[in-house]
Chains A and B, each alone.
Chain A
């Protein structure tokens, strides 16, 4: 069967951006994990990671009270004044106005997942309405999911058109496009979807790995494929797209590996929370724990830190 002319155009894009060898990617990222980050570089890396956290709560049982304590922690993660606030709090759209009350006027942004997160399986009109509502409530950033059904059935233009529509609904708010890499499966697909999204995104918008709501999350491998796509897009067009791996990054050590990948692939300009974020719920406390360990020299019990998931 011949592809639709528009689909054929996208297939040509696939040829142009090239393919990815999975084993080669795994070998590349394995080298990041063998970097040894010690002493001052470790402290600096941990603090940088803190500043990049999108502190996330996406649960049915979220309440204004829960949001309030999350925001508190986001603004002042540690009693140590040298530890910066996180980049953003990331909540469901209904919680945006509660979050905004606490962080308005600070450096901490409010990010809202919208577009029928995490499946995206409602009509476009419903999804856009949700985006507009979140933006209206003060969301600085919108995390949308792409239409994987359309993508996997080859309807790339629909995916792109929907991103454009959400982008328009965002107005001045930044957009984060979630590819849900676990459902795209192959690195080739992840690279192609990255370019598809980036072809319409503005400088400062993000591409993001995953919702955290499926079994596969961000890995060094899929994140590497995406930051290499960002790098290639930047060198070709001058447009700097930002990156957000999400889900599955739980430890400080992992976060440092991700930052090593950024440093050695995208360079210094991406070592800032304007260009790089971690979508995570339990990462922050491990970062704080390791910072405290570096400060005191003693290993820290988890219950020394607020909002922990694993206090026992």
Chain B
């Protein structure tokens, strides 16, 4: 007699813990053949609020980690993903992608993490500066994380898109509250399990599953989110910028209709980090 397999209850990863939506609501995810696969939490604005609280709590500690340490943790995350790449590929393949394409997406995501791991202790040297002011002052500009960054991931490339938006944010010490692809949320659930086994402190990355329509207005208006990086359609972009205006949010938008090539080099690198940092300039007199 065949053994009945034990299925996994997908949960979202908030504050380093796996939880269900506070609302108790779920929505079903189907496999490639259209059969029921599992129920995924349908997160609400209150879950988003809780995630922001968790991110706020983790923020100062994460920002204070040394750049070297953040780099190693990102690298470790790459290791986790690489070592469980077939599991992740299966999760991606639940969607439309074939198994080959899914695997290709996983290794691209690993490479992206390794890319940012290397940036952690370098971007400051490229972006910061010592400024030759014309008065007897030492003047230098350093970068700092913005704080809590809201991420709205694309439906295309549900893992690679998500990783491409999260990685530059946390490289510089931001913490993240991310909404996974609405159509293919399961890879994000698996990614949460990898985050938990990497050395990333709980609360640095918080992953929500749910409906964009329901959550984007809260992403836009939650004033504690200092920045939003989102792949969004025209209406969503307007909503994010309109809501973001109230707290003068930094809003970084990729057009959903642009059919972004997430595998390309354009979607990684220094300038994605730059979009999610603040420049701080310090003056001090030079005297005795």
List the interface of chain A (C-beta within 8 A of B).
21-24, 26, 185-188
Could you name 16 residue pairs across A and B whose Cβ atoms are closer than 8 Å?
A21-B285, A21-B287, A22-B285, A22-B287, A22-B288, A23-B137, A23-B285, A23-B286, A23-B287, A24-B285, A24-B287, A26-B136, A26-B287, A185-B288, A186-B288, A188-B288
B residues less than 8 Å from A186 (CB atoms): 288
A residues less than 8 Å from B287 (CB atoms): 21-24, 26
Interface of A is mostly: helix
The A-contacting residues of B in range 155-190, CB under 8 angstroms, are none
A residues less than 8 Å from B288 (CB atoms): 22, 185-188
In the complex, the chain A residue whose C-beta lies closest to that of B284 is A23
A23-B139 Cα distance, complex, nearest whole Å: 14
User: 4 shortest A-B CB distances, which residue pairs?
Assistant: A22-B287, A23-B285, A23-B287, A186-B288
- Say how far B287's CB is from chain A's closest CB, in angstroms: 3
- Say how far A26's CB is from chain B's closest CB, in angstroms: 8
A21-B136 Cα distance, complex, nearest whole Å: 12
- Say how far A152's CB is from chain B's closest CB, in angstroms: 15
The A-contacting residues of B in range 256-288, CB under 8 angstroms, are 285-288
Measured as residues with beta carbon below 8 angstroms from the partner, the interface class of chain B is under 10
A59-B137 Cα distance, complex, nearest whole Å: 42
In the complex, the chain A residue whose C-beta lies closest to that of B288 is A186
- Say how far A110's CB is from chain B's closest CB, in angstroms: 38
A residues less than 8 Å from B285 (CB atoms): 21-24
A185-B288 Cα distance, complex, nearest whole Å: 9
The A-contacting residues of B in range 136-160, CB under 8 angstroms, are 136-137
B residues less than 8 Å from A22 (CB atoms): 285, 287-288
A143-B287 Cα distance, complex, nearest whole Å: 31
A23-B285 Cα distance, complex, nearest whole Å: 6
A residues less than 8 Å from B286 (CB atoms): 23
A127-B288 Cα distance, complex, nearest whole Å: 33
B residues less than 8 Å from A188 (CB atoms): 288
Known contacts A22-B288, A26-B287; 5 additional CB pairs below 8 A are A21-B285, A22-B287, A23-B137, A23-B287, A186-B288
- Say how far A22's CB is from chain B's closest CB, in angstroms: 3
A187-B288 Cα distance, complex, nearest whole Å: 8
In the complex, the chain A residue whose C-beta lies closest to that of B137 is A23
Contact of B136 among A23, A185, A187 (CB under 8 A): A23
B residues less than 8 Å from A185 (CB atoms): 288
In the complex, the chain A residue whose C-beta lies closest to that of B135 is A23
In the complex, the chain A residue whose C-beta lies closest to that of B136 is A23
A185-B137 Cα distance, complex, nearest whole Å: 20
A residues less than 8 Å from B137 (CB atoms): 23
- Say how far A308's CB is from chain B's closest CB, in angstroms: 37
A21-B287 Cα distance, complex, nearest whole Å: 7
A186-B287 Cα distance, complex, nearest whole Å: 9
B residues less than 8 Å from A26 (CB atoms): 136, 287
- Say how far B134's CB is from chain A's closest CB, in angstroms: 13
In the complex, the chain B residue whose C-beta lies closest to that of A20 is B287
B residues less than 8 Å from A21 (CB atoms): 285, 287
Q: Which of A21, A23, A186 has the most chain B CB within a 10 Å cutoff?
A: A23
- Say how far B211's CB is from chain A's closest CB, in angstroms: 58
A24-B286 Cα distance, complex, nearest whole Å: 10
A24-B136 Cα distance, complex, nearest whole Å: 10
The A-contacting residues of B in range 31-88, CB under 8 angstroms, are none
A308-B232 Cα distance, complex, nearest whole Å: 84
The A-contacting residues of B in range 200-245, CB under 8 angstroms, are none
A26-B288 Cα distance, complex, nearest whole Å: 12
- Say how far A20's CB is from chain B's closest CB, in angstroms: 9
In the complex, the chain B residue whose C-beta lies closest to that of A25 is B287
- Say how far A95's CB is from chain B's closest CB, in angstroms: 39
- Say how far B30's CB is from chain A's closest CB, in angstroms: 69
In the complex, the chain B residue whose C-beta lies closest to that of A189 is B288
- Say how far A186's CB is from chain B's closest CB, in angstroms: 5
A26-B285 Cα distance, complex, nearest whole Å: 11
